[in-house]
């Protein structure tokens, strides 16, 4: 009988705001928000601490709205380089307990301690030790989910915050999770949730018990994997930190020639960047499942967000669609943009990419492979997406193309 995995998901609570409070202890007991430029009414809240949250301050609030909710709110400008340093210090602590550490964004990590837990006591002992060490050594708090799959470990860390541990076991996962809405788990965005709702699937339990053949027919391998994850039989592996360090990400960014002011303009830039990233992924025989978008406004404030899709990809359309979903979530066109960056991470070998009978990307993959061959023979610019042809916005000489970049937000 195969031993059940022991997986932790560690999530730093209110990461940006927590780092600012650790840097300046004099404000840690006051409501704090990391924001854009306070003197500009269109500046927004990028992060907030627990005290500000109690006043109803939310990420994305315009500053004057946040101050209306919390008149004593302390607003600080972001320091992304410092956040990166904090993130690396926290990961170094995780790596003392296992070599299977998989980052998920700047403030979250999965840890597989199945083979190493015996050296440190129980899984709960490890979780509590990590909480205590990070609080004392770094000055921030984490919430930890303990489970037997990545999906439920991530869900566990979301269920109780801040500075808490939640256990979702093989014995209690149905009781603890099956009444929760679909959006509770990683991999279910608003579009997927809406499609599932049309089948009268509203909770995780509904999805777990639904006819597997219909799910596969309607949603292909993505739906099949999602259902298995909810049923507790997902087989996602936590990556070894050394493997992860070999190739972490493929990114592409540019400072536009003029400010980007609306969604029509940003679509052309995002398409250009995603097409180039997809081409490089295929050339490296890689796929990726986490798409990150970083936007720099013309007041020099960065806003960013990541989303992980269920099926790893190297197709420009998949990357573009996810990137634009993120753009719609984090940018409201109020403040123009001067820089745009897309990054694909959580990389895997293309050999592990499988097309099945219901895979709608089969024809798309054939097409993009054919485009690669044309470009190899006649040059990259011999064939480009029509949507991306906007010379007024894109300065190809200013493109920032890199792999394994630790300082995307610097």
Residue 17 to residue 107: CA distance in whole angstroms: 12
Strands 142-147 and 165-167: parallel
Under DSSP, is residue 92 helix (H, G, I), strand (E, B) or coil?
Answer: helix
Residue 132 to residue 163: CA distance in whole angstroms: 9
Residue 384 to residue 30: CA distance in whole angstroms: 52
Please say whether the dihedral angle defined by the alpha carbons of residues 356, 358, 361 and 365, taken in this order, is positive or negative: positive
221: enclosing H helix or E strand: helix 212-231
Residue 281 to residue 251: CA distance in whole angstroms: 10
CB 17 within 8 A of CB 34: yes
SS3 assignment for 377-398: HHCHHHCCCHHHCCCCCCCHHH
Q: Assess whether 108 carries a catalytic annotation.
A: yes
- What residue has token string 């006819």? 211
Strands 286-297 and 108-112: unpaired
Distance of CA 305 to the CA centre of its chain: 6
Catalytic residue among 20, 102, 108, 368: 108
Those residues with Cβ within 8 angstroms of residue 241's Cβ, 6 or more apart along the chain or in another chain: 91, 95, 99, 100, 101, 102
- Centre a 10 Å sphere on the Cβ of residue 81 and count the other Cβ atoms it contains: 10
Residue 21 to residue 17: CA distance in whole angstroms: 6
Question: Which residues form the catalytic set?
Answer: 108
């Amino acid at each position: 009988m195969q031993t059940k995995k022991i997986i932790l998901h560690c999530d730093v609570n209110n990461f940006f705001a927590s780092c600012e409070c650790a840097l300046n202890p004099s404000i840690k007991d006051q409501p704090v928000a990391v924001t854009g430029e306070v003197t500009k009414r269109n500046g927004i809240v990028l992060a907030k601490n627990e005290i500000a949250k109690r006043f109803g301050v939310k990420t994305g609030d315009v500053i004057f709205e946040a101050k209306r909710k919390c008149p004593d709110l302390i607003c600080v400008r972001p320091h992304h380089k410092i956040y990166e340093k904090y993130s690396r210090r926290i990961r170094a602590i995780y790596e003392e307990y296992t070599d299977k550490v998989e980052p998920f964004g700047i403030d979250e990590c999965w840890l597989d301690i199945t083979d190493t837990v015996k050296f440190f006591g129980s899984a709960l002992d490890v979780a509590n030790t990590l909480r205590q060490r990070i609080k004392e050594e770094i000055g921030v708090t984490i919430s930890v989910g303990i489970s037997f799959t990545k999906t439920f470990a991530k869900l566990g860390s979301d269920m109780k915050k801040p500075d808490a541990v939640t256990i979702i076991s093989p014995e209690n996962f149905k009781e603890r999770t099956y009444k929760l809405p679909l959006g509770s788990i990683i991999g279910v965005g608003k579009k997927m949730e809406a499609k599932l709702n049309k089948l009268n699937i509203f909770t995780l339990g509904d999805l777990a018990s639904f006819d597997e053949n219909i799910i596969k027919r309607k949603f292909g391998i993505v739906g099949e994997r999602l259902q298995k994850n909810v049923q507790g039989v997902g087989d996602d592996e936590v990556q070894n930190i050394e493997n992860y360090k070999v190739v972490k990400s493929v990114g592409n960014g540019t400072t536009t020639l003029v400010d980007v002011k609306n969604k029509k303009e940003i679509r052309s830039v995002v398409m250009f960047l995603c097409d180039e990233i997809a081409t490089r992924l295929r050339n490296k025989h890689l796929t990726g499942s986490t798409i990150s978008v970083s936007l720099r406004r013309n007041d020099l404030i960065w806003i960013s967000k990541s989303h992980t899709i269920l099926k790893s990809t190297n197709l420009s359309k998949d990357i573009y669609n996810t990137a634009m979903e993120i753009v719609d979530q984090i940018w409201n066109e109020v403040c123009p943009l001067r820089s745009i960056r897309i990054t694909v991470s959580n990389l895997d070998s293309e050999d592990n990419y499988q097309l099945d009978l219901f895979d709608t990307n089969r024809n798309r993959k054939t097409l993009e492979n054919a485009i690669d061959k044309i470009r190899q023979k006649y040059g990259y610019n011999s064939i480009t997406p029509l949507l991306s042809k906007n010379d007024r916005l894109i300065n190809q000489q200013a493109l920032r193309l890199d792999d394994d970049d630790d300082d995307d937000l610097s």
